[in-house]
Every structure is written in C-alpha cells, then in structure tokens.
Structure 1
C-alpha cells in the first residue's frame, strides 16, 4: 500500500481496519471511496445490533447504515464510474482506456441486471420471501423486490438449543418464506430439521461480503450475481 497511487475502498464503514492500515503504511495514495454518490440505506432494526460493526454510527450510538451497497447492480455501476474517475485522476494519459473499460463493463452490468429482474419477475409475488442469517442483501431487496428476513434467536457462537430451534421454526412458518439460506448454521442436521418441520426448500450458498475462490461459482462480481439469483430462483421454483 505504501507504493500505491490509488487505494479503492467501499466506504460506509465496511472496512473498519482500513484507516489503521493507511496510517501504518504512510501511503500518499489517493483514497477513492466507491460508494460516493450512492444513496445509503439502513439495516433493518432486527439486524442492527448483530451488524453494528459493519455500519456507520449515526452519532446516537446506534449503528444502522448498511455498507453492502454493491448488492444493487445499479450501485455497482456507480462503483465502476468512481473507479474510472480515480484512475483518470491518477493517470491522465491512460484515462481514455479507463473510461472505455468502464463503459464496456457497465454494459455487462446492464445485461446482468436485466437477467436478475427477469428472474425475479418469474417468481410469483407471494413467493418472493427468503430467509438469510446475515443482513447483506438490503440493497438487493430494495432494488429488485425480493424480501429477505432474518431468523431470530439463534446464536452463531454455539450449538442452538432445542428452544432456539423451535423459535426459528415458528418464525419461518409465520413469515411464509419460500426458501432459506442460513450462512451461519453449518450443521446439516439442523438445516434438515428446519426444512422437514417447515416444508421450506433449503437453498444453496449466497455470496454476500466476499467472492468465492477462483475456481468457485462466484469468483467475480458478475458471477456472484449470476450465482445468487440462480440459487434463489432455483430454490423457490425448483429449477
């Protein structure tokens, strides 16, 4: 980092460690905040405490701002523009190339966004509800009309008790979710129990804060969006 010309950051307090790294490196690089011009949204109240470390402090002691703006493809296009602008500012001679690359990639994002919208439209309105254990999809929900709910009362630090499992099963039934993606519950027997007692399909892996390994299904941003919408649609519609 000490020799960098530009440092790209998500912003919205997503990288809590980054300022310390910048200070320690004594870098002279320009810090480009990729969420510049993005309209931020808040975490849902039920997630606010669990995700406090990822949000922005409002000054009242309550951390509510959701930093996962990239889960909206429209926001990803803003990221691309901000990256190109930062590179142009650092390297004027290469600016035409940066802008051309940004335009080409934005075209790919347009195509992916069309696919995501079409996939959501193919899901009946009453089935556009899924459960995840981590509130990383608020921007996706806001942009595309799919509702993400959170299982409450299950600790990720230990094996859930019978009472906690019963509470989760009750919530799933009440929320009438069409699929469940629980990132933090890794015990397959527990997932099978929830599926058995609720009749809800268990989906595959949704990628949120990070990409997969290079040989995985979500090694790029576009692959991540393809994977997530395919998993959601497949779990709900059985395709």
Structure 2
C-alpha cells in the first residue's frame, strides 16, 4: 500500500509539473477530453461553440464577473494550464498577466490579436496602444470565430471539418445580431448616435456601426478620472442632448451617476464587457451578452 501511495504521489507530481505527460489521462472506461484553456469567460464561450465535441472541454481562467485586466492567476490556474493542450488569449495588452503566466509552460498559445487589426487609443498614457475590446462588436466577433477555427484546425487537422461546421453555425447567429443592430443605427437620428460609457471599451462597436464614442477613462486597468475628462463628458452630454449614458458590469457606476446628476440625462444601464454574467444573469453567453448590450443601448438611445 505504501508503494502504491508513493506511486500515486509521483504521478500527480508529474502531471503537475510536466506540460506534456498528462494532456490525456486514460482509464479503463474513459479517455479524458483535451482541454482548451481561455483567458476569460467571453473567449471561452466562443471557443466552446466552435469546439463542441466529445473530444474537447473548454475552461476560462477568470470566472464570471471578474475584472480581467489586472487579474492575478492562482496556483490552481497554473495546474489547469499544465493540463491544457492550448491556451487562447485576446492580446492587445488586455491580459497584462498572460505572457508571464505561460512563460514557463510548454503549452501552445493562440493570441487573437495576432490576426486582428487594432483600433488605437488616442489619449492619455495609453495613447498609441491598441484598444483590446474588439469582441464587443458583433462584426469583430465573426472575425474571432474565423481566427479560432483556423488556429484550432492547424493544431488538430483531423477536426477541421467539425470546427468549420460549428463556426459557420455560430457566425450565422452573430450575423443576425449584426443585422438587427445595423438596422437600428441606420434608422436612428444622427444627432443621437453618441455612446457615452465609463470605460473606453466600445471603440470597435462605435467604429463598425457609426457611433460617436465618449468615455470617462480609457481602460479599467487605470480607471482614475481626470477633472478635465469629467468636465468634457458633462459638457458634451449637455450640448448634444445625449438621451442616456452607460457603465460596465465589473466597475462602479458612481462616476457616471455624477454625469447623470449634472446633465439631467438618464442612466441607461450596465453593459457587459470583460466578463459574462453568472448562469442566471442576462449575459451568460457571448450571444446573450451581445443581445443584452445592444438592447440596453437601443432603449437608451431611443
């Protein structure tokens, strides 16, 4: 029994510290699914819809409701990463912890930003750096699917047909959301096309659908609000008679309520950006997140 116990400990340690030995663990009755690890919940949900198959399981490092920019990985996160055959992150500086996290792991890495054209932040200490929040636009979400399908197919060529089939089905759902929001914007008066939020996370959505983006801070990793930007936002909301302003689910809307109180506009609601909601929430999948966000924006701007 002592020898058997020591053997089990040895196997566990090998699985813990080896990045290749335990990618698949077989028993008499079951073969373990291959693990695809994503940096955050939105990305994990997109991947899960593409890799829907008995051979794969998809997990997210961060949990629903967690702010991703400054997340600090835990020891259990490292264990999960050692069991994965691929780690997928967004890039564009979104996961500032990602490079260090995988630096000592022999795991394949897919970074969406490597194949996605950026929109650059235009001011403050982040001037000239890419805005990471491309998935907020349904149009860019379709590009995410294409990138993930191709990247996973290169790693598992035998599953290309599966990935492509699932990807096309998923893109059809994204296209419906895209068409619905495009129709709304096309029928919206031009002087109402202002999207005022806490974080500058909607640059891709604004760019793709013809909205003017206004925000209180560039990214949540550095959410201090300068008096200059607060004054500028209040002035613009008054001047343009913006009907509603918004904030994000992972940060306090206290600052945005200052804008509401100073201008008399209404608070349109909280949008989901960096994280999905819990299962019982309104944004428990990427598709539901987009639908929720765009419905909140539509009600506010109407």
Shorter-normalised TM range: 0.7 to 0.9
Does 2:200 correspond to 1:200?
Answer: no
The count of aligned residue pairs is 216
**Using the alignment, how far apart are the partners of 1:106 and 1:185 within structure 2?**
33
Counterpart pick for 1:186 among 245, 253, 261: 253
Give a deviation string over 1:56-96, Cα, whole Å, max 9, x none: xxxxxx55211111122222122111211222222222221
- How far the C-alpha of 1:105 sits from its partner, in A, is 0.6
Q: Which residue of 1 aligns with 2:76?
A: none
More strand by share: 2
Q: Which residue of 1 aligns with 2:113?
A: 35
**Using the alignment, how far apart are the partners of 2:99 and 2:215 within structure 1?**
31
Task: Compute the RMSD of aligned alpha carbons.
Answer: 2.8
Q: Which residue of 2 aligns with 1:136?
A: 201
- TM-score between the two structures when normalised by the length of structure 2: 0.63
Cα 1:166–1:22 shift into 2, 3 Å: closer
**Which has the larger Rg?**
2
Cα 1:215–1:2 shift into 2, 3 Å: same
Counterpart pick for 1:6 among 81, 86, 92: 86
Within-5 A mapping of 1:203-222: 203-222=268-287
CA contact (8 A) 2:215 2:233 kept: no
- How far the C-alpha of 1:117 sits from its partner, in A, is 0.7
Q: Which residue of 2 aligns with 1:225?
A: 290
Q: Which residue of 2 aligns with 1:21?
A: 101
Q: Which residue of 2 aligns with 1:57?
A: none
Q: Which residue of 1 aligns with 2:66?
A: none
Runs of 4+ that moved beyond 4 A: 155-158, 163-168
Segments of 5+ residues of structure 1 without an aligned counterpart are 53-61
**Using the alignment, how far apart are the partners of 1:138 and 1:164 within structure 2?**
17
Segments of 5+ residues of structure 2 without an aligned counterpart are 1-80
